[in-house]
Amino acid sequence: MIPPIASRFVAGETPAAAFDHVRRANEDDVKVILNLLGEHYHDRAAADADADAYVSLVRDIGATDLDACVSVKPSQLGIDIADEVFRENVRRIVEAADEHDVFVWCDMEDADTTDATLDAFETLAREFDGGVGQCVQANLRRTRSDLDRLADVPGKIRLVKGAYDESESIAYTDKTDVNEAYRENLKFLFKERDGGIAVGSHDPTMIALASELSAEYGADYEVQMLMGVREDEQRRLADEGVETWQYAPYGDKWLSYFYRRVRERKGNALFALRAVVGV
Ligand code: FAD
């Protein structure tokens, strides 16, 4: 069982627990992106098993009236084994999702996987007429030209700052430069796309910029934040009529995800410490 300390960031160990979480979030008009925890598999059976779990998940979501979709990780579906394994598994999930009218996002991982991930997205987005979305990272220098390439590809794009340590030669490593790249990429998305823009950020500056750009260019957008992070703001935005999605991981591999959240921010570490010492 997930201890209460981790349950701020993780929606439970089973699909049933995750669905209870979705139901509660939906009551506040916050929609939920479910992610089955798991990454960097080097064993095809593990990658295939998670793909099977996603196929069941999209079927189960489709059978409810919940506002939910899924987000998959390439390394969970076998990209570290071979691009082909990832392509086969992600296609299987998208085919099932298409049948059950459920949207599929793909996370973006380290820069070695960017080309194969974007290739799979472009193929599936064209074939399934936009039922898929792709995350892109503002810290990568290449992202501006990737967005050029994706300008006429249907589907949605989630812009994040980027969570992976990459070398200076391919990435902006200074926070100010990453923020500047985020702003530039966000402007480009609003100029080039009619909609399907997702602001994957907790940063109030970027969320305000999206609102301004939407008023200027008329394109629709959504805000996506992580479960356990600025949830009051998620509810406030939803209440204001901004389409708001919460990325909620679930599954039994919650420990490393929980540590990542604790490590990335002093406030989260204090929260964890307080829970342990009971103050
Ligand atoms: P930061 O630059 O971390 O913070 C900026 C400001 O936001 C802070 O000054 C503060 O005002 C506010 N803020 C941030 N966190 C908090 C908090 N805990 N409490 C209060 N205020 C806060 N990365 C990838 O590389 N690949 C992915 O596929 C991916 N998917 C993601 C999906 C979603 C829905 C989200 C939200 C993030 C995802 N990320 C992904 C992570 C992302 O790249 C960033 O590492 C992460 O979101 C931190 O950047 P930030 O934009 O939220 O703001």
Q: Which atom of ligand 1 is nearest to the CA of 246?
A: 34
Burial 25-47 (b: 16+ CB within 10 A, else e): bbeebbbbbbbbbbbebeeeeeb
Residue 155 Cβ < 6 Å to ligand 1: no
Give the helix/strand (H/E) hosting 231.
Answer: helix 231-239
Distance 200 CA to ligand 1 centre (A): 7
What's this model's pTM, rounded to 2 decimal places?
0.95
- Does 106 reside within a domain? no
Q: What pLDDT does 210 receive?
A: 98
Contact 144, 163 (CB under 8 A): no
Q: What is the pLDDT along the chain (279 residues), one digit of tens a residue?
A: 887 777 899 999 999 999 999 999 999 999 999 999 999 999 999 999 999 999 999 999 999 999 999 999 999 999 999 999 999 999 999 999 999 999 999 999 999 999 999 999 999 999 999 899 999 999 999 999 999 999 999 999 999 999 999 999 999 999 999 999 999 999 999 999 999 999 999 999 999 999 999 999 999 999 999 999 999 999 999 999 999 999 999 999 888 887 777 777 766 666 666 655 554
Domain residues for the domain of 124 are 113-219
- Does 49 reside within a domain? no
The model's pLDDT over 221-240, given as tens digits with 9 standing for 90+, comes to: 999 999 999 999 999 999 99
Burial class (CB within 10 angstroms; exposed 0-12, middle 13-18, buried 19+) of 63: exposed
Q: What pLDDT does 1 receive?
A: 80
- Does 55 reside within a domain? no
Q: Which atom of ligand 1 is nearest to the CA of 106?
A: 28
Distance 31 CA to ligand 1 centre (A): 18
Compute the distance between CA of residue 234 and CA of residue 226 in angstroms, rounded to an integer.
9
- What amino acid positions are annotated as catalytic residues? 107, 158
Q: What pLDDT does 269 receive?
A: 66
Q: What pLDDT does 275 receive?
A: 59
> Other C-beta atoms within 10 Å of 224: how many?
24
Residue 162 Cβ < 6 Å to ligand 1: yes
Distance 16 CA to ligand 1 centre (A): 27
The H helix count followed by the E strand count for the chain is 10, 8
CATH code of residue 135: 3.20.20.220
Contact 122, 80 (CB under 8 A): no
Q: What pLDDT does 267 receive?
A: 67
- Does 125 reside within a domain? yes
Q: What pLDDT does 261 receive?
A: 79
Q: Count of domains in the chain?
A: 1
Contact 146, 123 (CB under 8 A): no
Reported residue count of the chain is 279
Give the helix/strand (H/E) hosting 196.
Answer: none
Compute the distance between CA of residue 166 and CA of residue 93 in angstroms, rounded to an integer.
29
Q: What pLDDT does 279 receive?
A: 46
Residue 198 Cβ < 6 Å to ligand 1: no
- Does 201 reside within a domain? yes
- Does 13 reside within a domain? no
- Does 183 reside within a domain? yes
Residue 274 Cβ < 6 Å to ligand 1: no
- Does 274 reside within a domain? no
Residue 230 Cβ < 6 Å to ligand 1: yes
